[in-house]
Amino acid sequence: MKVRIITGVTCALVVIMLLVFTGLGYQGVMSIPMGAIAAIAAYEMMRVSKCKNKVLTVVSMIAAAIGPAYVDFDLQKYIPIPLSAIVIIYVIALLIIMLKFYDTTKFEHVALALFASLILPGALGTFFKVRDLCVEFPDLFQRSHCVFLILSAMYSAWMSDTWAYFVGSKFGKHKLAPKISPKKSVEGAVGGVFGNALFCVVTYFICDYTCFRNETLNVWMIFIGSIILTVLGMCGDLSASVIKRNFGEKDFGNLFPGHGGVLDRIDSFLVTMPALYVMIQIGLAIAGR
């Protein structure tokens, strides 16, 4: 437990530092650690799948590392080839690698490489989309709004997990998904959902009192949105557990003592961050923006 707490606090301090950089509007600072996270997550995905094709693993790691910077700096405007064509070329390249190293490569390895190198960095890339809402819609969003929204997605991925752990360990009696994650309980999940909603609402009131200058966000948006994000985050966590169970692994890695690997820490965030961006886009569309 001591190691788990120390690791959790260390990761929290790093996240806080990165949020400070985001609040100050430093573009490009986040794309470096995001790229590193995506590359490590891609490696962990390929390692868990028992892929022995080192070329396939390295290619997926490189593509994953480039993904966040591609979104952050909008690199597409400097490339004459459409993104759809780039993806098609990349898929063909992975299939050629599979044919070249047929003896050590299964099609499922290629499928996981595509997921690790496109979906994972794409999901992380929505971080930058939410961060830049204040640039795209300056009349609606302040920089402080963007930082709060990103923090809400992080809360829904990680703070809810903390609430669920403590509530479940004390009151948990009914298993949530015994074959996928035996330690999770229905009581813990309920505690995680409403504990996180309360935390988000309290944080909203603090921000609304100290730094928000307009009424783009309101408490009911935050309350309902946090519940939806927390439930989706739990689905992301359980989906990652399914992948691990399919390959007979407990964790994706051991980079964080007591917590597993990078992918074990960001599996929920890979769902909550894109889901938040989609919810915002739906809200803007309804508002005619």
pLDDT tens digits, the chain, 289 residues: what are they? 554 555 555 556 666 666 666 666 666 678 888 899 999 999 999 999 999 999 999 999 999 999 999 988 888 889 989 999 999 999 999 999 999 998 888 999 999 999 999 999 999 999 999 988 988 999 999 988 998 999 999 989 888 888 887 887 777 777 887 778 777 888 888 998 999 999 999 999 999 888 888 888 999 999 999 999 999 999 998 998 898 888 888 888 777 766 678 888 888 999 999 999 999 999 999 887 7
| Cross-strand partners of 246 | none
Whether 175 maps to a domain, the answer reads yes
Residue 13 covered by a domain: no
Q: Given 3-state DSSP classes, what are the helix, strand and coil percentages for the chain, each rounded to the nearest 5?
A: 75, 5, 20
Give the C-alpha distances (Å, rounded to integers) separating 197 from 189, 225, 238, 241, 246. Answer: 12, 8, 20, 24, 32
Domain carrying residue 47 = 26-131
Asked whether residue 39 falls in the same domain as residue 152, the answer is: no
User: How large is the C-alpha radius of gyration of the chain?
Assistant: 20
Residue that terminates a domain, selected from 131, 151, 176 = 131
Q: Are 217 and 130 within 8 A, CB to CB?
A: no
Q: Is 144 within the bounds of a domain?
A: yes
Is residue 124 assigned to a domain? yes
Both 203 and 267 in one domain: the answer is yes
Which pLDDT value is given to residue 152? Answer: 92
Both 71 and 143 in a single domain? no
Q: Do 53 and 88 belong to one domain?
A: yes
What pLDDT sits at residue 198? 93
Indicate whether 73 and 159 sit together in one domain.
Answer: no
Please tell me whether residues 171 and 257 are part of one structural domain.
Answer: yes
Domain stops at, among 77, 98, 131: 131
Do 146 and 258 belong to one domain? yes
Residues 117 and 40 in one domain: yes
The answer as to whether 287 is a domain residue is: yes
Q: Tell me, yes or no, whether 71 and 189 share the same domain.
A: no
The answer on 211 and 82 residing in a single domain is: no
One domain, residues 38 and 171: no
Q: How many CB atoms lie within 10 A of CB 214?
A: 10
Does 33 fall in a domain? yes
Looking at the 3D structure of the chain, how many domains does it have? 2
- pLDDT for position 188: 87
Say what the pLDDT of residue 3 is. 47
Provide the pLDDT for residue 67. 92
216 and 154 co-located in one domain = yes
Measured CA to CA, the distance from residue 170 to residue 175 in angstroms comes to 13
- Tell me, yes or no, whether 17 lies in a domain: no
Residue where a domain stops, chosen among 131, 151, 181: 131
**3 is a domain residue:** no
